A = this chain, B = another copy of it.
């Protein structure tokens, strides 16, 4: 099965890129959460395509419709279901892909797994479009978390050769989070925007695509959330982050850098500040023994370049079983990273809400 996530909060997603509608059912939301649908829409907008030159030309309003679980402005406590209709679809763009899988895409593995019965149009259930419901669910979770003083923000750590600065892992101001939440290309060192855009434009000019990474922070979580072993905060977050199409790596705190470090460098020294126990550094990314220590949670997500590129590629025709040239038509992002930012944040919100509900 592909589509159920969570323990206290269970999310069940569905839909294909060119089907009737996509959406999800959210089970386990507490009753009485006042929902700000405008805030949800603006999160959806961050992920939506058609934001000018650097993203695909496909225009999708992503207008959602809530079917249940929401009454008089509040969550009811019963399952909240919503759908997003698929409007602007050009299936003809994909007909020729039926038997020719795009390299780096789920076309091939999906066809094998589902024995050819899956809806191949536009990638079907494998389409990045299915991340729209995840952003919706995340937006709901974020409103619940923000009531508890928990905020999630991220920035583009890099696109190709262009790097942004890193979070100060020890002190992350709420205002920085708010600021990043509304930037089109969220960056800590704003002057880097030109380098980032040029990396994208150069790839686009070559009919190619480019990868990048996102650094995300969760602030306001108290100490003591999570579990050792199979329900560690890292395990739960990595699980849902790796469900996002295109994600190929996840690291917490110093992550892969710590493989070259000494214990004396990595161990975060404890100290007392205003009667509270804190750590002077945050190499652990706010998680020790699988459990939050009250410092910001920091992680980075590696996103591979979009597989759909205009450039000529070689593939195989699975019916004729012969090699063929592939020239992908349709409208695609040269770089998915900017649109992935709100998806990563939504996944983080969905990933930690169980722990918060457990409290």
Residues of A within 8 A of B (CB): 1-5, 7-8, 10, 12-16, 19-25, 27-28, 31-32, 65-69, 71-72, 74-81, 83, 101-110, 112-115, 117-119, 124-126, 130, 158, 160-161, 203, 206, 208-213, 223-232, 234-236, 238-243, 245, 247-256, 258-272, 275, 277, 279, 283-285, 287-293, 302-309, 311, 313-316, 318, 321-323
Residues in B whose Cβ lies below 8 Å from that of A263: 104, 203, 208-211, 305-309, 311
Q: Which of B262, B293, B309 lies in contact with A203, CB distance below 8 A?
A: B262
- Shortest C-beta distance, A192 to chain B (Å), equals 15
- Shortest C-beta distance, A144 to chain B (Å), equals 14
The answer to whether A31 touches B118, judged by C-beta atoms less than 8 angstroms apart, is yes
Residues in B whose Cβ lies below 8 Å from that of A241: 238
A/B interface sample: 25 pairs, CB < 8 A:
A2-B227, A2-B231, A2-B290, A3-B25, A3-B79, A3-B230, A4-B10, A12-B12, A16-B76, A31-B117, A76-B119, A77-B113, A110-B228, A113-B291, A234-B242, A238-B239, A245-B290, A249-B258, A254-B304, A256-B256, A264-B311, A266-B307, A270-B314, A270-B315, A277-B321
The answer to whether A15 touches B238, judged by C-beta atoms less than 8 angstroms apart, is no
Q: Which of B101, B275, B293 lies in contact with A109, CB distance below 8 A?
A: B293
Q: A20-B68, A229-B130, A262-B305 are in contact. Are A316 and B242 (CB under 8 A)?
A: no
Which of A104, A279, A316 is packed against the most chain B CB atoms within 10 Å? A104
Residues in B whose Cβ lies below 8 Å from that of A268: 103-104
Copies in the complex: 4
Identify the closest chain B residue to A161 (Cβ): B260
The answer to whether A20 touches B65, judged by C-beta atoms less than 8 angstroms apart, is yes
Which of A3, A130, A203 is packed against the most chain B CB atoms within 10 Å? A3
The answer to whether A12 touches B10, judged by C-beta atoms less than 8 angstroms apart, is yes
Residues in B whose Cβ lies below 8 Å from that of A322: 272
- Shortest C-beta distance, A181 to chain B (Å), equals 22
Residues in B whose Cβ lies below 8 Å from that of A259: 158, 160, 211-213, 249, 302-304
Q: Which of B275, B283, B323 lies in contact with A271, CB distance below 8 A?
A: B323
Measured CA separation A21–B191 after assembly (Å): 49
Residues in B whose Cβ lies below 8 Å from that of A271: 314, 316, 323
